[in-house]
Amino acid sequence: MEYLVIRIGDAEGGASWQAVDAHGATLAHRGEGDLEQAAELAEARKVVLLIPAREVFRARMDLPARGRRSAVRGARYALEDRIAGDVEDLHFAVGPADGNQLDVAAVERQRLVDLLARLEAAGLQPAAAYGEGDALPHLPNAAAALLEKDALLLR
């Protein structure tokens, strides 16, 4: 299986994309520009959306005694005191359990709706969406970094 990973910038800007194989190794198909250009490469590939890290709130929380299903419902209230703004305006996603801990991500619901609408208008249907920090490798006892002209992303 091959994937087309699309990284979207700000609301007005374009996008960049990279085709990768099932192991994350890059393929020759890379580009920047309008999403319509990326759509030409999406055939027979699963599309993955990367949301700018500055727009994604990340946290770890304890796995509730009632399990993962209740964690999805309860994440917004468990993290309410750590989030500036109204949790009702956020979309929450819970990652896999790591012992008794869960990774939680939240993004403004309207921003996610807008991003998905931009992709749909270009003929793209993402199979998944992640914060761009999730695209950096997880290195035990070390940090991974991406340095760009106006930002530094650490994991």
| 155 residues of the chain, pLDDT tens digit each | 999 999 987 656 689 999 999 998 999 789 999 999 999 999 889 999 999 999 999 988 887 767 666 776 777 777 777 887 788 899 988 888 788 888 889 999 999 999 999 999 999 999 999 999 888 888 889 988 888 777 888 88
pLDDT at position 94: 85
Report angle CA 141, 143, 146 to the nearest 5 degrees.
Answer: 165
Residues 17-23: contacts with CB under 8 Å, at least 24 apart: 17/41, 19/45
pLDDT at position 31: 92
CB within 8 Å of 131: residues ≥ 6 apart: 50, 51, 52, 53, 55, 56, 58, 105, 107
Q: State the chain's maximal CA–CA distance in angstroms.
A: 47
pLDDT at position 112: 96
- The CA distance from 15 to 8, in Å, is 5
Q: Which neighbouring-strand residues pair with 142?
A: none
pLDDT at position 149: 77
